[in-house]
Amino acid sequence: MADGGLVKTITKLLTASALAFVAAAEGSSITLSVKPEREYLLAGGPRDAVIQVELQAKDADTKRTAPINLALVLDRSGSMAGAKLEKAKQAASVAIDQLGADDTFSLVIYDDQVDVLIPPQRVKDKEDMKREIARIREGGSTALYAGVEKGAAQLRKYFDKEKVNRIILLSDGLANVGPSSPTQLSKLGKELRDEGFGVSTVGLGDDYNEDLMTALAESSRANYYYVKDAEKLPGIFRDELGTVKSTVARNVNVTITFPDGVRPKGVLGEDGLAVRGQTITIPLAEFHGSQTRRFLVACEAPAVDAKDIELARVELNYEDAATGKTDAESHLAKISQTNDSSLVEKSIRPEVAAKVAITNNRIAKDAAVKLADSGKPKEAAELLLRQAAQNAALPAAAQSDLLKNEDVELKSKASELQSSGSLSKSSRKEIQYQNYQDKTQRR
340, 363, 376: which is closest to 410 by C-alpha?
A: 363
pLDDT band, very low/low/confident/very high, at 52 (cuts 50, 70, 90): very high
Rounded distance, CA 384 to CA 394, Å? 16
List the single range of 104-118, 235-249, 359-373 with lowest mean pLDDT.
235-249
In whole angstroms, what is the distance from residue 344 CA to residue 30 CA?
A: 31
Residue 442 in this model has a pLDDT that exceeds 90 = no
Note the pLDDT of residue 390: 92
What pairing do the DSSP bridges indicate for beta strands 40-42 and 326-338?
A: parallel
pLDDT value of residue 235: 82
| Tens-place pLDDT, residues 23-44 | 334 468 999 999 999 999 999 8
pLDDT for 91 beyond 80: yes
Res. 243 pLDDT band, cuts 50 70 90: low
Looking at residue 396, its pLDDT comes to 82
Residue 89 has pLDDT above 90, yes or no: yes
**Residue 430 in this model has a pLDDT that exceeds 70:** yes
Quick count: other Cβ atoms within 10 Å of Cβ 7?
Answer: 15
The pLDDT of residue 322 is: 83
Residue 272's pLDDT is what? 85
The per-residue pLDDT for 202 is 93
Per-residue 3-state assignment (H helix, E strand, C coil) for 318-359: EEECCCCCEEEEEEEEEEEEECCHHHHHHCECHHHHHHHHHH
Confidence band for 399, pLDDT divided at 50, 70 and 90: confident
Q: What is the band of 63 on the pLDDT scale with cuts at 50, 70, 90? A: low
Q: State the amino acid at position 412 in one-letter form.
A: S
Write down the pLDDT at residue 64: 58
393 contact partners, CB below 8 Å, separation of at least 6: none
What CA–CA distance (Å, rounded) separates 309 from 328? 24
Q: What is the pLDDT of residues 121-152, one digit of tens each?
A: 999 999 999 999 999 999 988 899 999 999 99
Q: What is the mean pLDDT of the chain?
A: 89
pLDDT value of residue 285: 80
Give the list of residues 6+ apart from residue 121 with CB closer than 8 angstroms, or none.
104, 105, 106
Phi, psi of 244 (to 5 degrees): -65, -20
pLDDT at 296: 97
Helix, coil or strand: residue 106: strand
Q: What percent of the chain has pLDDT over 70?
A: 92
Cα distances (Å, whole numbers) of residue 293 to 16, 132, 389, 397: 18, 39, 27, 22
Q: What is the mean pLDDT of residues 305-310?
A: 91
pLDDT in tens, 336-377: 999 999 999 899 998 899 899 999 999 999 999 999 999 999
- pLDDT for 238: 79
- CA proximity to 282, closest of 270, 291, 290, 292: 270
- Please report which confidence band the pLDDT of residue 62 belongs to, taking 50, 70 and 90 as the band edges: low
Angstrom distances, CA of residue 116 to CA of 119, 124, 147, 337: 6, 18, 9, 63
Tell me the pLDDT tens digit for each residue of 202-234: 999 999 999 999 999 999 988 899 998 888 888
